[in-house]
Every structure is written in C-alpha cells, then in structure tokens.
C-alpha cells in the first residue's frame, strides 16, 4: 500500500482505535508520512500513550535527511501535544524544532516550515508564537522571494485578530508591492483565517 494511502487509513482509524492506528503507522516506510500518521495516533491515544507516540512520531521526523522535512513534519506531533494539553512537552519540542529551522534551505522552504510550526502552536498563546516569529524575522527576508513575501502576508493576516501589533511588525519589514498591500488590506478588513486543522475528527 502506498505511503499516502496508509497514512490516510491511519487518519480514519485513529479516533476509534489509536493503538491499531499506531501499529499501521509503523508499517509506513517514508518518514514524512509515518510521522504524520503516528501523530494522529497520539492525538487520540489514551493519556499514558500520548507522549510515547509523539516521541515515535518525532523520531520519524528526525530520520529525515532534509531539515525542511524534519521541521515541517514535526508540526503534526507538536500539534498533537498542544491539543492534548501537554504544554510543557510542546514547549520543549517547539524549542528543538526552532533550533533546527535556520538550517532549512532555501529560505522559502524555511518560511513554509515555520508557518506550519506557527499554526501548530497557535493555541499556546502569544509567547509561543513570538518564538516562532523571532526565528522567521531573523532568518527570512521577504524581499528575497515572492514565496517568502506571500508567507509573511499569510502570517500577518492570520495573527492580526489576536495580536495586531505583531502583525503590523511583520508588514513593516515587507518591501512595497503586491504582498504588502494585500496584507494591509486584509488586516484593515478585520477578519483573519483560522490556523490549519491538523486533525479533523474529534475523539
């Protein structure tokens, strides 16, 4: 069975049989999809199984040779910790992933990975979000790539409802042009998108 198909089967199974989902997830050869699948199992696991399954998911992420794939896939187990109230472990995991993020190349991929991490920890509040934004602002330059500029726009828009000051600080470093104008219009519009759903079924 293809890795994506197995991952999708784990997603369907996890809410009702997280341990069965974990066993199936372990059969996935590709670390990207194995990490996501194990994170799904962790999200719906019994209380004493959450962190062991997250550890497995993160181990899969860290077996990736590309730092982008490690940081990006790490967003799923990180979000599982957040949704299950494992705040202390989530904070430690966040620090580890952010330490690796500057190694991601090119910068557009770094910005994409950080955007995933930001959405994963969004519910932890301003302090956690600020840590992600600090790395973003010190390692990514929106003038270097339209992809980076677009991600800055998306992030500014998303956080504007909860932290307008931070949103405006992001817009301030963007070069004049399409993405900056669009960010300003969207912030002024007063509505912002919700962070992505990593797990779309409630236990």
Name 28's Cβ contacts closer than 8 Å, sequence gap at least 6: 3, 6, 7, 10, 34, 37
Given this model, what pLDDT does residue 203 score?
Answer: 44
Residues 6+ positions from 111 with CB-CB distance below 8 Å: 136, 140, 147, 148, 151, 152
Q: How confident is the model at residue 190 (pLDDT cuts 50, 70, 90)?
A: confident
The HSE-up count of residue 89 (CA atoms within 13 Å, CB side) is: 17
The 8-class DSSP code of residue 86 comes to: -
What band does 33 get if pLDDT is binned at 50, 70 and 90?
Answer: very high
Cα 140 from chain centre:
17
> So what's the pLDDT on residue 202?
47
Residues in the chain: 203
Mean pLDDT, the chain, integer? 96
b vs e for 64-77, b when ≥16 Cβ sit within 10 Å of the residue's Cβ? Answer: beebbbbbbbbbbb
Owner of token pair 């860290």:
62
The answer to whether residue 18 scores a pLDDT higher than 80 is: yes
What are the tens digits of pLDDT across the range 91-140? Answer: 999 999 999 999 999 999 999 999 999 999 999 999 999 999 999 999 99
Q: Which residue has the tokens 């990593």?
A: 198
| pTM (two decimals) | 0.95
156 Cα distance to chain centroid: 16
Say if residue 201's pLDDT is above 80: no
What is the domain partition of the chain in residue ranges?
A: 1-63, 88-203
- pLDDT for res 187: 93
Rounded to 10 degrees, the C-alpha dihedral 146/152/156/158 comes to 90
The distance of Cα 90 from the centroid of its chain, to the nearest Å, equals: 12
Task: Say which residues have a Cβ less than 8 Å from residue 122's Cβ, sequence separation at least 6.
Answer: 129, 158, 195
Predicted confidence band at 1 (pLDDT cuts at 50, 70, 90)?
low
């Amino acid at each position: 069975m293809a890795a994506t198909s197995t991952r999708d089967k784990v997603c369907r199974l996890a809410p009702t049989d997280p341990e069965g989902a974990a066993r199936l997830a372990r059969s996935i050869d590709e670390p990207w999809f194995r990490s996501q699948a194990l994170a799904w199992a962790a999200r719906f696991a019994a209380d004493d199984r959450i962190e062991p399954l997250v550890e497995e998911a993160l181990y899969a992420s860290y077996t990736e040779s590309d730092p982008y794939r490690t940081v990006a896939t790490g967003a799923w187990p990180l979000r599982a910790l957040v949704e299950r109230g494992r705040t202390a472990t989530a904070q430690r995991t966040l620090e580890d992933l952010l330490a690796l993020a500057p190694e991601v190349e090119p910068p557009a991929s770094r910005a994409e990975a950080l955007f995933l991490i930001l959405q994963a920890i969004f519910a932890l509040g301003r302090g956690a979000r600020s840590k992600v934004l600090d790395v973003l602002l010190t390692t990514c330059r929106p003038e270097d790539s339209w992809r980076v500029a677009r991600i800055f726009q998306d992030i500014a828009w998303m956080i504007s409802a909860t932290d307008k000051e931070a949103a405006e600080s992001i817009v301030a470093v963007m070069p004049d042009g399409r993405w900056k104008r669009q960010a300003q219009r969207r912030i002024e519009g007063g509505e912002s998108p919700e962070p992505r759903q990593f797990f779309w079924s409630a236990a």
